């Protein structure tokens, strides 16, 4: 039996309509071919959280007074100081405009982020629990593929949805300007990523070095397009990937790659994927935020040529520094459909917007019999 809450149903409907309007980007990036970050690394990383109610099977921004729920991570983000987190617009766009968004800032791999296991179908009392490994044999429970936060809830930051700023010219059709600002209600002491003062990514992409940028996230670790094999990581993962030139990106993505607003990076078997959306692409030596995980081919990190696409932070520095009030440009650009699958990064129901079904399906079958 599959139980789907009304909140998820609305989101899924919006995803289906958006899916018909684009053709080659799935907003659900993950870390493929990476390794666990060290404890204390990437304390600027933000995890956006959604509450899964065990009793109703519904997913919502808040626990809605239930005492039986999981906090699931659905997107990433980057703390840049000055009470500001940057994420992808598609992570926020289809969320209810009222209410509260919850997030963690910091690497919680060893202090509460665990792999989620929920009761098998037919259990007398349905419940979920966190475990320290992804493949335990737990009688009466099965892994859902999701991560869940089981740590101190006082660490969770609440942000009013009305305060979040999505780029005024973000397009769900083209994924241009896929960036949003989450203003935090209080100062935090976490280290922050810096914004680029020059087009550092272009310089890196033109060099002959490899593995010169890094992407970070809790997303899917299995390189295929089968939602039933989705496996997020409770450990915060990092992977070094090659920055690619605009020429390489255009040759691979065609007209769907919009130079100036997008950058791309990746290697065979190395990529971001489902669940990493909104997270940071950085220059690790200087902790500079270069990109925001946005979209890519439906199979992340496929063998051979495989790149992921990121919102170009350098293009949006003025917009970010103005608090989303100035410096935006580009407009609504259309692209030609070529019949390829679109992948975006995860949103609440999985990948809200383009290509959402991949991860929204996970919520549909999380109570299935195993």
Q: Which of 73, 277, 306, 360 is catalytic?
A: 277
- Give the C-alpha separation, 206 to 325, whole Å: 32
- Give the C-alpha separation, 347 to 28, whole Å: 8
- Give the C-alpha separation, 119 to 352, whole Å: 26
Instruction: Return the biggest CA–CA distance within the chain.
Output: 60
Retrieve residue 272's tokens. Answer: 């971001």
Task: Report which of 78, 124, 82, 99 is spatially closest to residue 276, judged by C-alpha positions.
Answer: 78
Q: Which of 26, 94, 178, 267 is catalytic?
A: 178
What residue has token string 């199979």?
299
- Give the C-alpha separation, 274 to 125, whole Å: 30
What residue has token string 């792999």?
115
DSSP 163: G
Q: At 161, give phi and psi (nearest 5°).
A: -60, -30
Q: Is 277 a catalytic site residue?
A: yes
What residue has token string 């990514």?
201
- Give the C-alpha separation, 333 to 173, whole Å: 8
- Give the C-alpha separation, 174 to 300, whole Å: 19
Radius of gyration of the chain (CA): 19
Q: Which residues contact 326 (CB under 8 A, 6 or more apart)?
A: 318, 319
Task: Report which of 319, 344, 295 is spatially closest to residue 80, judged by C-alpha positions.
Answer: 319
Tally of residues, the chain: 370
- How far CA 67 is from CA of 23, 42, 51, 58, in Å, comes to 41, 31, 11, 13
- Give the C-alpha separation, 192 to 195, whole Å: 10
Task: Judge whether 294 and 310 are in contact, CB under 8 Å.
Answer: yes
Residues with catalytic annotation?
A: 178, 277
């Amino acid at each position: 039996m599959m139980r789907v809450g009304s909140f998820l149903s609305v989101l899924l409907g919006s995803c289906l309509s958006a899916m018909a309007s684009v053709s080659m980007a799935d907003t659900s990036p993950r870390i493929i071919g990476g390794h666990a970050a060290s404890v204390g690394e990437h304390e600027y990383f933000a995890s956006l959280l959604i509450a899964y109610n065990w009793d109703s099977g519904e997913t919502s921004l808040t626990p809605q007074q239930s005492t039986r729920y999981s906090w699931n991570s659905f997107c990433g983000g980057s703390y840049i100081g000055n009470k500001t987190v940057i994420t992808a617009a598609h992570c926020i766009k289809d969320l209810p405009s009222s209410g509260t968004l919850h997030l963690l800032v910091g690497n919680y791999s060893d202090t509460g982020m665990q792999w989620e296991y929920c009761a098998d179908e037919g259990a007398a009392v349905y419940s979920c629990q966190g475990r320290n490994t992804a493949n335990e044999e737990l009688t009466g429970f099965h892994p859902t593929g999701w991560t869940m936060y089981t740590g101190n809830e006082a660490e969770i930051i609440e942000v009013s949805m009305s305060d979040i700023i999505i780029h005024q010219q973000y397009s769900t059709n083209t994924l241009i300007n896929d960036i949003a600002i989450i203003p935090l209600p209080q100062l935090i002491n976490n280290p922050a990523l810096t914004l680029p003062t020059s087009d550092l990514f272009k310089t890196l992409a033109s060099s002959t070095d490899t593995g010169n940028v890094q992407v970070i996230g809790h997303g899917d670790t299995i390189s295929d397009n089968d939602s039933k094999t989705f496996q997020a990581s409770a450990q915060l993962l990092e992977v070094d990937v090659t920055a690619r030139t605009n020429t390489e990106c255009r040759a691979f993505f065609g007209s769907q790659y919009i130079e100036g607003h997008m950058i791309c990076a990746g290697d065979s078997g190395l990529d971001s994927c489902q669940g990493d959306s909104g997270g940071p692409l950085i220059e690790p030596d200087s902790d500079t935020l270069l990109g925001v995980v946005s979209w890519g081919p439906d199979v992340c990190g496929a063998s051979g040529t495989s790149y992921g696409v990121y919102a170009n932070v350098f293009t949006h520095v003025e917009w970010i520094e103005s608090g989303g009030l100035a410096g935006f440009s580009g407009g609504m650009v259309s692209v030609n459909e070529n019949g390829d699958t679109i992948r975006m990064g995860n949103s609440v129901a999985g990948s809200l917007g383009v290509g959402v079904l991949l991860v929204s399906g996970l919520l549909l079958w999380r109570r299935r019999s195993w």
